[in-house]
Structure 1
Amino acid sequence: MLAFDPQLLGNLYAQPAFQKDFGYEYQGSYIISAPWQTGLSMGNPVGQVLGALAAGYPMEWYGRKATFSVCVIGTATIVFIQFFARSLPVLLVGELLGGLILGAYVVIAPAYASEVCPAALRGTLTSYINLCFVMGQLLANGVTAGTNQLGNTHWAYSIPFALQWVWVLIIIPGMPFAPESPWWLARKGRLEEAERSLHRLGETDAASKLAMIIETDRFEQEMEAGSTYWDCFRNVNLRRTEISVGVYAIQVLSGIYLINYGTYFFTLAGLPTQNAFDMGIGFLAVGFLGTCLSWVLLQHFGRRTIYNVGLAVLAILQLVIGILDCIPNYKNHTGVIWAQSSLMLVWNFFYDLSIGPVCFVIICETSATKVRAKTIALATAVQAVLGIVMTVAIPYLINPDQANLRGKLGFFFGSLAALSLVWSYFRVPETIGRTFEELDIMFERGVPTRKFGGYKI
């Protein structure tokens, strides 16, 4: 839903029924004004910043499951605002409030996933979050393409908003079957409930697993890991917070926000409109495939290796796209236009094969368990702030009446990706196969980044 909502809104700007009901007449047709487009598009990321930071406290006070349940009910309520909105101010309120809760989900999902699955599946389950983003975008494109055929009735945009209730109807009946995080229960001293939760999760030796959780928590107390946002920046946690924030921020810096402008980018590159639309669908389809293949890589290669190699490939591809845009009489070379557009698809494939899904694995494995929710919240907030910057900047960089960079935008994002690679090479450690206690010990001992993989405890 976090990907569905902004993708849906971006598609509705071009929908006749939405333009007629929410826009104004201009030269014989209806349009949504640029300030309102920016305002509505900002509602989701601004809400994410606030929602992510706010989610850390109730997750620690009331647990992952209770917080998630309240958020699901909140989503069901806020969709009513979006569904019945018939003016831009009301829709903006719905988008902002919706973004608040969606920001909370981004914190809850990786924290909960990393605490309920065995270490062998930790990479696959946490990286699955990236696949959810891709599926949300694909669904939004498919839904709006279908409802666009309904003509100028309000159902053309009301049905897409209403479909968000489907997820609520699926999730709520399943909530009783979801156990609470045994890590959270153990920290609260509810050891019997923690052991029952481990049994429900399929642990054959729940007592030993619980003993390890208690020992890890005791060790983090000795490390003074703390449990507040301030503690994320104290002692050994500062390094762990830096890594988590860094890998999430690099998603934006490497150019992922171009996905929101994929079809527009292909049009500006010179592709016919229908071909540009087909390329936009292909953009997301290869992302789906890339994320699924990343699960195979995560089982056989280290997180650090996949992340750094993937980031290097992304930087090279962006720079090549920029170079192709410098060819004289660019618009007259159809082959160059197709090559540039195809490279964007290749770029998205490698993004979703590497830094897209692996980012969530690294965030979950490098953050201390006591401040995991707050570390993820900080990383989410920083990423969302950078997303707001890109939401404002990219239209000015890419539009023909502004900077008109077209494919030269590859130089901008390629350079940022190259700088990010330098940082990740020296700062992102190898965490594959390590228990949370082992990672606590290595961070406490200040093990150098490049020695994490082969370090013996």
Structure 2
Amino acid sequence: MPTEDTVDEKHGTVLDTVIQVTQAEHELGFWKGAKLYPKAKKYGQLYEGEYIISAPWQTGLGMGNAVGQLVGALACGWPLERFGRKHTLAACCCWSIAWIFMQFFSSNLTILCIGEIFAGLGYGFYVVIAPVYASDVCPLALRGVLTASVNLAFVIGQFIAQGTAAGVEGRTDALAYKIPFAIQWVWPVMLLVGLCFAPESPYWLVRQGRRDDAKHALEKLTSNKDRTDLDAMLVLTEETDLFEREIEASTTYMDCFKGSNLRRTEICIMVYLIQVIGGNPLIGYSTFFFTQAGLASANAFYMGVGNTALGFVGTCLSWPLMLKYGRRTIYIRGMAVMTTILFVIGFLDIPKHNTGAIRAQATFMDIWTFVYQMTVGPICFVLICEVSSTRLRGRTIAIATAVQSLFGIVFTIGMPYMLSSEQGNWKGKAGYLFGAISACCLVWCYLRLPETFGRIFQELDIIFDAGISARKFASYEVVQEVHELQKVE
């Protein structure tokens, strides 16, 4: 009869194996995971009768895309201001098409890794351009919903990835890893076609002194019955740019840390960073907890689909909620619920080897996902667009994206050590760590996160320049002239 120590040792070995597999999936990502297993015989090394991809290469391929995204986010600020949103996005699409081609036809791991890194540069551009472009071209009434839809795009992307993974799961030929790459070609091509009919940002055109082009862009963005207000809308855009010119003479990265822009940059960095440090790294290991609870690995895929479905529903629910309650209220309440759930996950780890407690942990992780996707996830993209000034929006969001990517890399590397029984052996107790971090973030949100709902960009410029505290943002009255301009938009 096995002793208790033997059972614990065996249990720990199984958990370590699950952690290692889960970590491999996190490091490889969808595209790498879909191709490396069928392609292991070509790219891998023979080890104990099987072809495997060495750990350094797995890490390199997994981190290559993330590192490229970090660099790309910082690099996109200059072309966004030099060439505009539309042309930069078009160039980014062409860039992606080229580097997907390199990955699709790669003949060795070196070429594949290079392709991952340079493709990641393009992804860094996309993450910045999407909210910047959306906030520049949409009216006040649609700004929240449209910018929050950036989060929905991420969720839909997960659905497509999961569907593709299911479709190629049983294949052992080259198409098993080529099909996922080929599907990536669809999106930049579609974007390029759509950009032929899309207008440039009126704010960017005004900054370039191209008044007629800005008016033409506004014509594309309005219906025929609203054309009578074009001149007034153009004046509003010019006045906003003029006011910001008085505050900041240039549009460099250093300007993001000067005057009132320092506060705006801080807010953008924090609301974006909370997406990582507020619990997402732990929730990403929900499959690990389901496996501990006895769920068959074959069902893990369906749990992932269900989790993504919760994210889709949550993001859609965020639209009416933000229109009714604004940004600050939803964000803070979401953080409060998420913080509580993280501590509950930690407390549920107190019973040792309790299957019911582990199932409860996994269930609370799904609830956390739903709350996150209904509050913090989508509202983040709304806030970074509304808090940043129009002249520095591209660079401010780029800085926030780079900081978030950096911390994402750190947690991707650190989580396996935290959960492994041979290392930190935290398991569900990691909920205490992320709960504590989330609690600190909640305090920050209460003290520093402003309410931006219903404010045009010029109003936000005035309020930030006046140094109004976050808790008084919603009730602060700006000058009557700005209220008259608000009626135009």
TM-score (norm 1): 0.94
Structure 1 segment 54-453 matched on structure 2, within 5 A: 54-151=75-172, 153-202=173-222, 204=226, 205-224=229-248, 226-258=250-282, 260-328=284-352, 330=353, 333-453=354-474
What is the Cα deviation at residue 145 of structure 1?
A: 1.7
Q: Sequence identity of aligned pairs in percent? A: 51
- 1:11 maps to which of 4, 12, 33: 33
SS in 1 for 2:51: strand
Q: Paired residue for 1:22?
A: 43
Measure the CA separation in 2 of the matches of 1:94 and 1:373.
26
Contact 1:186 1:194 in 2 (8 A): yes
SS in 1 for 2:295: coil
Measure the CA separation in 2 of the matches of 1:210 and 1:451.
30
Contact 1:7 1:260 in 2 (8 A): no
Greater than 6 Å deviation, 4+ residue runs: none
1:170 partner letter: M
Structure 2 CA distance for partners of 1:259 and 1:322, relative to 1, 3 Å:
closer
Bigger Rg, which one? 2
What is the Cα deviation at residue 303 of structure 1?
A: 0.4
Structure 1 segment 33-44 matched on structure 2, within 5 A: 33-44=54-65
SS in 2 for 1:149: coil
Measure the CA separation in 2 of the matches of 1:274 and 1:148.
11
Structure 2 CA distance for partners of 1:225 and 1:18, relative to 1, 3 Å:
farther
1:63 partner letter: G
1:235 partner letter: G
Tell me the matched-pair count: 449
Measure the CA separation in 1 of the matches of 2:285 and 2:61.
16
Greater mean alpha carbon deviation, residues 22-31 or residues 220-229: 22-31
User: Tell me, which stretches of 5 or more residues in structure 2 are unaligned?
Assistant: 1-25, 479-489
What is the Cα deviation at residue 306 of structure 1?
A: 0.7
2:402 partner letter: A
What is the Cα deviation at residue 157 of structure 1?
A: 0.7
Measure the CA separation in 1 of the matches of 2:166 and 2:420.
24
SS in 2 for 1:25: strand
Contact 1:311 1:355 in 2 (8 A): yes
Measure the CA separation in 1 of the matches of 2:356 and 2:257.
51
TM-score (norm 2): 0.88
Measure the CA separation in 2 of the matches of 1:150 and 1:361.
41
Q: Paired residue for 2:19?
A: none
